Each structure stands twice: as C-alpha cells, then as structure tokens.
C-alpha cells in the first residue's frame, strides 16, 4: 500500500525538485559545473516529460513503478551531487568518483527500463484522448533505448577513465 501512495505522499515535493533541475543546465552553461551540456539537457528534459505525464495521468500515479522510479532517481542524484560538489570545491575524491560511476551504470540502466515500463503502462490511458500520442511515445521509447544504452554509457565510460587518470596523477604529485 505504501508503494501505491508514494506519489500522493511525496509527489509535489519530488515534482518541484525535478522541475527545478532545469537549473542544472544553466550551471553547465555558466561554467559552475563541468559537464557536457547536451547529455544533461536530454536527461533533464526526459525526466521532466515523464514526470509531467505521471502528474497528468492519475491512473499511473498509484502504480508501484512510479515509487521505484522516484527511488532510483533519488539514488542516482545521491551518487552524483556529492561528487560534483567535491569537484566544484576542487577537492575531488577518487573513491567518490569510482563509487559514483560503478554504481551509476546498473542503476541508470534500471532507471531507463522503469521509465519504459511507466510509458508502456501509460499508453492505454493516453489512447482515447490524443490519437497520435501513443505512436509518438513508442518512438520516444525507441529513442530512449538507443540514447541510453549506446550513447550516454559509452560517453560516461570514456570520461571516467580520463578523470581517474588525471586524479591519480594529481594524487602522485601531491604525495
């Protein structure tokens, strides 16, 4: 029963925080955070589209997959934000970098799968209202799978290797 009531309990706060995540794009553009703009832009927009769909469809709000998705989003953010904070403070931690990217990969893949399940479960509720929306969402699912499973993880892996090497060299110079 707690899984079904998750959206009613934390939906407003989660929605507000997720909508405010648009500020991350401005942080990258202003140079406060060192990250690639396009992948983060796609990630923020994709999360907000899914969240708006969940807000609009009350039938989906009580599904357990919404609770799982909120949980995964929060865990991914708990892995990402401390690492980024340490980088902004110019005190990077190799252990934090390793834990972020090693745990990030399976959680991110699971999150994408859950997003697909939420969209798939929403299709019957969307069909009567807008005739072409289910087709667009199926196309979105295909793009989501291609974008998440091919482009972004491979990009993150390359960035991680470069950062680990750079920080390892910094640790050697300091000692």
Out of 24, 101, 108, 163, which one is annotated catalytic? 108
Backbone conformation region of residue 90, classed left if phi is above 0, alpha if psi is from -120 to 50, else beta = left
Catalytic residue among 24, 84, 115, 163: 115
Q: Are 157 and 100 in contact (CB under 8 A)?
A: no
For residue 166, what pLDDT is reported?
A: 65
pLDDT tens-place values along the chain, 175 residues long: 666 677 778 888 888 888 888 888 888 888 887 777 887 888 888 888 888 888 888 888 888 898 899 899 889 888 888 888 887 787 877 788 778 777 887 888 888 889 889 988 888 887 666 677 777 777 877 777 776 666 555 555 555 566 666 666 665 444 4
Measured between alpha carbons, how far is 9 from 52 in angstroms, rounded to an integer? 17
Question: Residue 121's closest CA among 174, 53, 25?
Answer: 53
């Amino acid at each position: 029963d707690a899984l079904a009531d998750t959206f009613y309990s934390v939906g407003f706060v989660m929605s507000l925080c997720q909508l405010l995540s648009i500020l991350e794009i401005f942080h990258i553009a202003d140079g406060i955070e060192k990250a690639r703009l396009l992948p983060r832009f796609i990630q923020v927009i994709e999360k907000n589209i899914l969240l708006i769909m969940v807000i609009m469809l009350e039938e989906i709000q009580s599904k357990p997959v919404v609770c799982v998705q909120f949980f995964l989003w929060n865990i991914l953010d708990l892995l990402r934000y401390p690492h980024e904070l340490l980088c902004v403070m110019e005190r990077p931690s190799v252990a934090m970098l390793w834990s972020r990217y090693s745990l990030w990969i399976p959680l991110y893949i699971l999150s994408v799968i859950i997003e697909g399940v939420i969209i798939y479960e929403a299709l019957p509720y969307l069909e009567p209202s807008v005739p072409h929306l289910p087709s667009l969402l199926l196309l979105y699912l295909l793009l989501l799978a291609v974008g998440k499973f091919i482009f972004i993880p491979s990009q993150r892996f390359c960035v991680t290797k470069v950062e680990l090497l750079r920080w390892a060299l910094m640790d050697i110079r300091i000692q």
